[in-house]
Amino acid sequence: MKRAPRRPPAPGWRWAVLAPAVLILALGLRSVLAQKTAQHVVLEPLAQPLPHGARPGELAAATAIKADAQGGLLTLSRVERVWRVQRFDAALALRDRVDLPVAVVGELSDLAAMPDGTVWLCGEGGFLWRLDARLYPGRRPAPVRSGLDGLVYLECLGARGLAGLDCRDGVFARLDEHGRVLRQHPLAEAGRARGLVCLPEGAAWLEFDGGAVWVRVIDAEGGTLRRFMVQDMAPAPGDRLAASGSVLIINDQAGPSGLVFYTAQGKPLGQSLGGGTYSVANPGFVAGDPAGGVAYVHFNQGLLKFHLPWPEEL
């Protein structure tokens, strides 16, 4: 007896089997594509670059770079036997400059730009030096003793004064508008800190730990809110953290990423090697505008000001 020929499965049956697999694959590819797109961000230059060099109006051997409250930029750099502090306007044109002899002020490590235009410089032994809005140190400049002998990093808290990190004794401190300690919070982790930025919820810094780069975010009392690892980034001496609004900016000094961006909550936003004709591979310093939307990067050709493609709050 002959068997009836076997009918092939209906096309609808095959689609019912394949559809879930196709959908999963499509969603996976879409996720990967979105991730890859987010990883490579093209930044828009906002001004002609500040030249690299040791003459006034140029910048080399940077120690600190901070945005001021007037839309400009302040820089601290070592030029032979002087510490040079320069203020640039929004177009990166030089406005004011002062050279302070190293023999007078000693070694400096950071600066903080206050809302009224005054500038604080952080020096060895916990000494602070104050400059007025024209960067004038006064007729007989004298340091202020902060009370923190291992003070290394300094940051403006707006009208609330200053925040500082003592990396020798492991202390996060609040200082008043006169540079004296109001409160201090012992933090063992502060000894591993690299840089300091202030956020609406508190402060943040970088840490090198286990061959990786981490960001620690703390509240105003020094309690850790979160700690997250910067993906695919190995520690390098010049790695720094900056903040522009709620966007964190990290320079990958020794790696291929250029600039790396995260939210303060720890969400990766992407990375960038510059914009236009400017490549910022292996940048040495970063800064951000507290108002958001702007970043500065110092690299081998000079200093660039960029527009960030993210809003102030994320």
Report CA-CA distances (Å) from 219 to 4, 147, 177, 300.
Answer: 78, 22, 20, 35
Nearest alpha-carbon partner for 275 in 242, 299, 253: 299
Give me the pLDDT at residue 220, please. 87
pLDDT of residue 28: 43
What are the angstrom distances between the C-alpha of 287 and each of 15, 69, 90? 54, 13, 14
Side chain identity at residue 291, one-letter code: A
Q: Which of 251, 261, 230 is nearest to 299 (CA)?
A: 251
- How far apart CA 128 and CA 130 sit, in angstroms, is 7
Is residue 240 within 8 A of residue 227, CB to CB? The reply is no
Question: Which of the four pLDDT bands, split at 50, 70 and 90, describes residue 219?
Answer: very high
Contact 283, 296 (CB under 8 A): no
Within-domain flag for 189: yes
Question: Do the domain assignments include residue 312?
Answer: no
Residue 19 has a pLDDT of 55
Within a domain: 4? no
As a whole number, mean pLDDT of residues 104-118 equals 95
Domain count, the chain: 1
Contact in structure between 243 and 261 (CB atoms under 8 Å): no
Got the DSSP string for 139-165? SS---EE-S-TTEEEEEE-GGG-EEEE
Distances (CA, A) of 163 to 120, 156, 204, 233, 248: 11, 6, 11, 27, 18
Q: Tell me the pTM.
A: 0.84
Q: List the CATH number of the domain containing 215.
A: 2.120.10.30
Q: Does residue 176 belong to any structural domain of this protein?
A: yes
14 domain residue, yes or no: no
Rounded to whole angstroms, how far apart are CA atoms 299 and 103? 29
pLDDT > 70: percent of the chain: 86
Our separate counts of H helices and E strands in the chain read 2, 27
Does residue 15 lie in a domain region? no
In the block, which residue shows the tokens 């540079």?
A: 179
**CB atoms closer than 10 angstroms to residue 135:** 19
* Residue 54 vs residue 278, higher pLDDT: 54
- The answer to the question of residue 9 being in a domain is no
For CA atoms 117, 96, 65, 308, give the dihedral sign.
Answer: positive
Domain of residue 143 covers 43-307
Assess if residue 298 is contained within a domain: yes
From 85, 157, 171, select the one nearest 126 (Cα to Cα): 171
pLDDT average, residue stretch 71-78: 95
